[in-house]
Amino acid sequence: MTLGQIDRADEVAGIVFVDRKQSALTDFLASHNISAQQINLDYQARLARQQADQAAAAAAAANEENNANGSDDDEDVAEQKKRKRKEEKAIAKIKASKEFKRRKFEHHRAKDSDDDEETDDDALARDMMKKPQKAPPKPGQFANCETCEKRFTVTPYTLAGVDGGFLCTKCGKELKDEKSKAEKAAAKSKKKALVPRVRKRQQESDRMEGNVKLGAKSLVEHCVRKVADVVNDIEDFGDLPQNLLDRLSQILSKKRVLTPRTLQLFLQPGIDRIAVYDCAKLETEDFNKIFAFMPDVERVNFRFAGQLKDEPFRYMIEKNPKLRHLQLDASNLITDAAWTDLFLHRGDQLETLKLSALNDSFRDEIVEIMASTCPNLKRLKLRKCSHMTEQSINFIASMTSLEHLSLAIAQESSAESLVNLIDSVGSNLKTLCLEDYCDADDSVLEAIKNNCTQLTKLRLTGSPSFTDNMLANLFDAAWPNPCIRHIDLSSNRDMDSAMGPNDEDDENPVGFGSNAMKAMMVHSGNKLEQLDLHSNRHVGKEVLLDVFDGVKQYPNLKDIDLSFVTHVDDVVMTGIFKSCPALEKLAVFACFSAREAVIPQGIAVIGLPNAQSAVETVGGA
Amino acid sequence: MADTNKELSPFVTLVSADGFEFHVRRSAACVSGTIRRMLDVQNNFSEAQSGVCHLENLSGIVLEKVVEYFYYNEKHHQSSSVADMDIPADLCLELLMAADYLDT
């Protein structure tokens, strides 16, 4: 039972706690469905029944008090009278006090009636007086224990019993033990209540990574994580298979513990590849060591290689004759001269070259050298290399061996350059990625349609001038290209019109819209695995409903991003779940009308405002 | 996952290199792809007939942990956000190799 539930239960009973500060014990009792309020009410009822004997009871109480105080045993009548007067005074005082009013208010709320007001008042006041007004015996005096009635000496450490009397050392200790036990239990139950929330947090975190699979993680995953945890105690990985080494490198990089010490574990002569996803802690000698230890290396993948200088780079060119695949990120200390060396010496054997975030070197001239010295290059990926200009694109156009081409450089290039590029290399391409070329227009689409026939991955993003009809035309039945597995056509929308497709009567609206959506799914829906359409806000609701109608099936579609496609709503989402049996991840950021759809287990939906709904459930009251 | 052919015993025996035998529920053992294929009658390995798998490259102590994982996995088969199983640090590398071999 949560606090919220208790609150609700109390509201139903018409009771409101005025003082919200509760002790742990009260909490504990409440959690066991014991209400102090109820006990108090019962007590009041009993008191009313005993009203007839009240005077006698009061006298008895006075006597008892007398005894407890342990003062003079033989009081005379005058003194008793005096005491009675005192009591009356005290009661009057109590009746005037705030505390009394509060209790009275509560009492009436509880009883919900006004009868017997006077007697109730008296009883209440007397009740209140009994407890706190009792003068405590000073330390050093004797008192009778409230529980066992033994006589004992009062000390500063003496505890008060439940009825306000004092407890002897033994009973006091018992009470204390009991209290601490109850507190512990309360704390424990609180802790237990916390656990699911912590879990929930972890769950949300996993969900963001698209990991909502039911059941336990694989034993391999368990072990890899554990190995990464204790990596500093490990002397040698032994002969772990390559895929596990790679996974370990990923985890260690993510944890930023890929130091020269841990790097050593990955260096094995027999292995043909090395991937370090965070080289920030490696220096010249570490790079040298890598190339010295692994003379047969074929694949080199260094990310954040900011400290990779010319010297180890030339060492690599010299010592690793089998190098065929090279991927470097942020290796800004390599000069153009060293790049030239690479292409002159190893250019003819390079099959893969992926470079990103080069801001200090690799100018157009180097691209020209690359284009002329790498006849076997199959994969080329260039991203965020700030010195490359439109000229580079023209040089790349001469590399007809390319099968996979991803470019995010020289993004101000004209559409003609891109068309020229696609015209010359397009026919062999299996992958074509052109990111954020703001001048790319329909002529580029036309070039793709005319040249590319083997694409399995297509990424065309960030163009403000592709038209819906031309995109639809690209995917029509006349295109000989088979089904595409990975499509990313995100952020292709008209920058100027914020609201929906331009005009109803506009013949050819700009941006990826309803026609393109329909044509694309007809063309590639069968084999499509990954679909990114984020920020294509002109995709209409009818077409979404039509494409994801729950009857048409997209058996391989695993990953969809429809963020900022504002027409996605609960119905569309439900349709997606029905139409995509293999779906693993769906991103719907900023799809504000989709929030109620029932998400089947095993699908990670991210971007829904469930942080809010989670707050609502937890808050309760 | 597990084939519930009536002729098959619901338990199989896993034998470690140093001779420890573990009698494990078939459904649990089949969490491992390798063992599942070993025991698949269609593949007609001797393990499928005898119901005994000799895992010559696993020591008893590693196999014990593996078996613990089998049952842990089966127990949490349908639950979401499962707590991680505890793996002793000195065993994790060997266990990793075993897990890789067993396709678990």
SS (H, E, C) A503-540: CCCCCCCEECCHHHHHHHHHHHCCCCCEEECCCCCCCC
pLDDT band at A18 (very low <50, low <70, confident <90, very high): very low
Write out residues 227-246 of A within 8 Å (CB-CB) of B: 227, 229-230, 233-234, 237-238, 240-241, 244
Strands B21-25 and A585-587: unpaired
Q: How far apart are the first and last CA of chain B?
A: 13
- Give the number of C-alpha atoms closer than 13 A to the C-alpha of residue A439, restricted to the C-beta side: 12
Instruction: Decide if B81 and A216 are in contact by the 8 Å CB cutoff.
Output: no
Residue in chain A closest to B97 (alpha carbons) equals: A240
Q: Is A619 on the interface with B (CB under 8 A)?
A: no
CATH number for the domain running over B11-102: 3.30.710.10
Please check whether residue A78 is in contact with residue A84, taking contact to mean a CB–CB distance below 8 angstroms: no
Return the residue matching tokens 């439940």: A162
- List CB contacts (< 8 A) between B89 and chain A: 226, 229-230, 233
Please check whether residue A341 is in contact with residue A368, taking contact to mean a CB–CB distance below 8 angstroms: no
CA distance B80 to chain A (A): 5
Instruction: Decide if B96 and A212 are in contact by the 8 Å CB cutoff.
Output: no
pLDDT band at A215 (very low <50, low <70, confident <90, very high): confident
Q: Model confidence over B3-62: pLDDT tens digits?
A: 444 467 889 999 999 999 999 999 999 999 999 999 888 888 888 888 899 999 999 999
CATH number for the domain running over A456-621: 3.80.10
pLDDT band at A399 (very low <50, low <70, confident <90, very high): very high
H-helix or E-strand containing A293? helix A284-293
A202, A218, A233 member nearest B81 (Cβ): A202
> Which of B102, B76, B98 shows the shortest CA–CA distance to B87?
B98
- List CB contacts (< 8 A) between B29 and chain A: none
Which residues make Cβ contacts (< 8 Å) with residue A239, sequence separation at least 6? A268, A270
Identify each DSSP E strand in A71-213 by its residue range: 142-144, 151-153
Domain ranges of chain A: 35-135, 456-621
Least confident of A131-145, A487-501, B20-34: A131-145
pLDDT of B55? 92
Q: Is A604 on the interface with B (CB under 8 A)?
A: no
Q: Is A226 on the interface with B (CB under 8 A)?
A: yes
Q: What is the mean pLDDT of residues A515-538?
A: 94
Query: CA–CA distance from B71 to each of A123, A319, A572 (Å)?
Result: 65, 50, 40
pLDDT of A559? 94
User: CA-CA distance, A460 to A422, in Å (whole number)?
Assistant: 13
pLDDT band at A284 (very low <50, low <70, confident <90, very high): very high
Q: Residue A132 — φ and ψ, nearest 5°?
A: -75, -25
Domain ranges of chain B: 11-102
**Cα angle, residue B12 at apex, residues B11 and B18 outer, rounded to 5°:** 140
Residue in chain A closest to B79 (alpha carbons) equals: A215
Please check whether residue A163 is in contact with residue A127, taking contact to mean a CB–CB distance below 8 angstroms: no
Residue in chain B closest to A213 (alpha carbons) equals: B80
- List CB contacts (< 8 A) between B30 and chain A: none
H-helix or E-strand containing A405? strand A404-408
B79, B81, B96 member nearest A223 (Cβ): B96
Select the residue from B93, B101, B102, B103 to test the A interface by mutation, using most A Cβ atoms within 10 A.
Answer: B93
Strands A151-153 and A142-144: antiparallel
Three-state DSSP state, A144: strand
